[in-house]
């Protein structure tokens, strides 16, 4: 959840570190710091509580800190309050070892007590300081160098971590290690970069190595050497990141979220084109064959947050198109459940980053039980992408805003394509019907553009909602799944208490919450469920609710019931969620803007949750 950046080369390190950290601000943080080593092997550590701009002001945008080797960090407090003292980097007692760390060390108290008995003192409340001093302890005890000392520390540490470490006796090198926390290494023109996420180094290089779980890397100018935990050197292949550096910039938009909402027509089309060749679905890049699809008797979709909401929508689509039963599970619950998984089942893990801690653990749990796995991920080379048996890459590009929009939309598209190909492979859908659906799927980008062209009405309506304290979203079937996502968008960036309910459940308790002026947003895109949901709207209106209706063009009777109506273009009901979610994204965005909040970096949230 925190951010790491490191650099070693011939350029000045501090400006590169600060620039990289600014690209990771979306991950959430409460303090920041850098450590830079100069040509005289002197290291300057600068740390500050608060936003990165404080650190930039202290260092004159990095120009005041001289040296070409350094590490930087943005911290989100886990162990110890937000403070300058607890900010990273952390040092051993004599500054022999300096490091930054993402993750959580679960046995840090036990390690701290043992290190204290060996004469180490502690100045912070962090688990990171314990890791630094444990590495220093092994470095001095065995005198076998950085790789050995880090490997020994890794064996003792329980938990998750990505570490970037500098040693005083190796002034032109950075050492990294990871377990269950993301880390990438970039190479370009005799210089080497390390970061916890791609956007931090995309400006400088698109050629990267992915350091594996429980591996160590030695970085010097323009080179990287990798080792396993047994200190044996291992070989790795460079991977080219296809993302354009400009994709990680705002491009003239006020916020990344608004830019990413507007990018949805393109990324939806790109994702369709990635697996549709000559008018037919081609899963050769995914690696899931028709024969394997034929054998599947049960699908489990496992995810967190918005990706879980994609799973909810996918459940309706897959079960409607095929005879396969589908269960949707929260990854944080799935990994601790003791349930037996059906033989010949498939576990689909959905994650934008491919590093979500609970989802990754669920993937490993499924693999341990011998169940086939498929990852739907956006980041090439991420942990879930590497470890899943098959991978469907969404082509959303870098998503910077914490509140997902375009990644969610590409995940929806991936789920439709999976459902259609499962149906064809199993003889439950004709190729003619599949072609018809593909033709309709290709209209989705243009229809999203039409919705975006009418966004001023939603902005006007959102301004009226800025004072709202509560909101409820209701729908049936796929509309319920989309209501879950609309509600999450509202609460996570506008801080309005919001809940989503299956409309038929209102009378089973939630309707007691309805009172004068309460906002109720109803999603109605499924024709066969339209009248039933309208009945639910009438029920809450009679109790004082203020109603917004979101439906398809043609359902103009909605204006007789709702106080404000939003229309989306008609499409096949299976795909309607890809259109109905767009106004809900815009609504959440404009309410947040009207309230003056930081849309891209909502409080208490991080882009990817890489710790439990």
Active site residues: 2, 607
Q: How many CA atoms lie within 13 A of 332 on its CB side?
A: 9
Quote the DSSP letter at residue 509: T
What is d(CA 260, CA 272) in angstroms, rounded to the nearest whole number? 18
State CA 289 to chain mean position distance. 28
The residue assigned the tokens 């970069």 is 193
Q: What is the 3-state secondary structure (H, E, C) of 465-506?
A: CCCCCEEEEEECCHHHHHHHHHHHHHHHHHCCEEEEEEHHHH
Quote the DSSP letter at residue 246: G
Token pair recorded at residue 190 = 């005799």
Is the N-terminal amide bond of 133 cis, ω within 30° of 0? no
What is d(CA 285, CA 392) in angstroms, rounded to the nearest whole number? 8
Token pair recorded at residue 148 = 């050995």
What is d(CA 47, CA 98) in angstroms, rounded to the nearest whole number? 13
Characterize 297-313 residue by residue with b for buried, 16 or more Cβ atoms within 10 angstroms of its Cβ, and e for exposed: ebbbbbbbbbbbbbbbb
What is d(CA 494, CA 246) in angstroms, rounded to the nearest whole number? 28
Separation in Å, CA 339 to CA 222, 589, 594: 49, 39, 46
What is d(CA 518, CA 159) in angstroms, rounded to the nearest whole number? 44
Separation in Å, CA 295 to CA 211, 287, 347, 598: 35, 15, 13, 48
Q: Cα Rg for the chain, rounded, in angstroms?
A: 25
603: nearest Cα among 22, 173, 51: 51
52: nearest Cα among 117, 106, 2: 2
What is d(CA 74, CA 588) in angstroms, rounded to the nearest whole number? 27
Q: How many CA atoms lie within 13 A of 489 on its CB side?
A: 29
- Within 10 angstroms of residue 589's Cβ, the number of other Cβ atoms is 28
Please give the full DSSP string across 51-109, using - where no structure is assigned.
-HHHHHHHTTTTTTS--SEEEEEEE--SSS-SSTTTSSPEE-TTSSEEEEEEEEETTHH
Burial class (CB in 10 A: 0-12, 13-18, 19+), 560: exposed
Characterize 258-290 residue by residue with b for buried, 16 or more Cβ atoms within 10 angstroms of its Cβ, and e for exposed: bbbbbbbbbbbbbbbebbbeeeebebeebebee
Q: What is the 3-state secondary structure (H, E, C) of 351-395?
A: ECCCCCHHHHHHHHHHHHCCCEEEEEECCCCCHHHHHCCEEEECC
């Amino acid at each position: 959840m925190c951010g790491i950046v490191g650099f070693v080369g011939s350029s000045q390190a501090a400006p590169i570190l600060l620039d990289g950290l600014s690209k990771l601000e979306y991950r959430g943080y409460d303090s920041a710091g850098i450590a830079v080593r100069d040509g005289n092997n002197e290291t300057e550590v600068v740390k500050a509580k608060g936003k990165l701009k404080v650190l930039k002001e202290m260092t004159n945008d990095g120009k005041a800190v001289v040296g070409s080797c350094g590490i930087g960090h943005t911290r989100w407090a886990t162990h110890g309050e937000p403070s300058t003292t607890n900010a990273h980097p952390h040092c051993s007692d004599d500054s022999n070892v300096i490091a930054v760390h993402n993750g959580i060390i679960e046995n840090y108290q036990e390690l701290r007590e043992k290190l204290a008995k060996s004469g180490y003192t502690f100045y912070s409340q962090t688990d990171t300081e314990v890791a630094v001093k444990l590495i220093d302890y092994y470095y001095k005890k065995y005198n076998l160098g950085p790789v050995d000392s880090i490997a020994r520390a890794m064996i003792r540490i329980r938990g998750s971590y990505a570490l970037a470490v500098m040693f005083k006796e190796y002034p032109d090198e950075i050492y990294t290690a990871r377990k269950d926390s993301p880390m990438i290494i970039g190479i370009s023109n005799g210089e080497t970069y390390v970061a916890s996420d791609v956007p931090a180094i995309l400006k400088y290089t698109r050629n990267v190595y992915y350091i594996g779980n429980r591996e160590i890397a030695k970085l010097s100018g323009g080179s990287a050497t990798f080792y396993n935990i047994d200190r044996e050197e291992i070989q790795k292949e460079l991977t080219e990141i296809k993302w354009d550096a400009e994709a990680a910039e705002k491009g003239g938009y006020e916020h990344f979220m608004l830019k990413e909402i507007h990018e949805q027509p393109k990324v939806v089309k790109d994702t369709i084109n990635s697996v549709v060749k000559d008018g037919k679905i081609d899963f050769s890049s995914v690696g899931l064959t028709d024969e394997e699809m034929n054998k599947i008797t049960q699908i489990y979709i496992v995810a967190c947050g918005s990706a879980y909401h994609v799973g909810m929508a996918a459940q309706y689509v897959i079960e409607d198109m095929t005879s396969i039963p589908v269960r949707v599970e929260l990854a944080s619950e799935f990994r601790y459940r003791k349930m037996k998984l059906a033989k010949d089942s498939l576990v689909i893990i959905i994650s934008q980053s491919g590093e979500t801690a609970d989802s990754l653990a669920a993937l490993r749990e499924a693999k341990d039980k011998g169940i086939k796995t498929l990852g739907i991920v956006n980041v090439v080379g991420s942990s879930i992408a590497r470890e899943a048996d098959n991978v469907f890459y969404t082509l959303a590009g870098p998503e910077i805003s914490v509140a997902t929009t375009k990644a969610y939309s590409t995940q929806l598209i991936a789920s439709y394509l999976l459902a259609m190909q499962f149906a064809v492979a199993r003889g439950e859908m004709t190729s003619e019907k599949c072609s018809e659906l593909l033709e309709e799927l290709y209209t989705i980008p243009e229809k999203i553009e039409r919705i975006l062209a009418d966004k001023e009405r939603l902005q006007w309506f959102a301004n009226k909602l800025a004072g709202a304290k509560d909101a409820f979203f209701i729908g049936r079937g796929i509309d319920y799944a989309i209501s879950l996502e609309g509600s999450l968008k509202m609460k996570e960036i506008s801080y309005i208490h919001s809940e989503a309910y299956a409309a038929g459940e209102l009378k089973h308790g939630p309707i007691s919450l309805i009172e004068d002026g309460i906002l109720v947003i109803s999603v109605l895109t499924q024709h066969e469920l339209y009248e039933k949901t309208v009945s639910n709207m009438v029920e809450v209106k009679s109790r004082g609710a203020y109603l917004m209706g979101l439906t398809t063009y043609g359902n103009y009777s909605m204006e007789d019931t709702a106080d404000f109506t939003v229309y989306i273009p008609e499409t096949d009901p299976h795909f309607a969620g890809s259109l109905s979610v767009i106004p809900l994204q815009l609504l959440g965005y404009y309410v947040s803007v009207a309230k003056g909040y930081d849309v891209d970096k909502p409080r208490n949230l991080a882009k990817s949750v890489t710790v439990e």
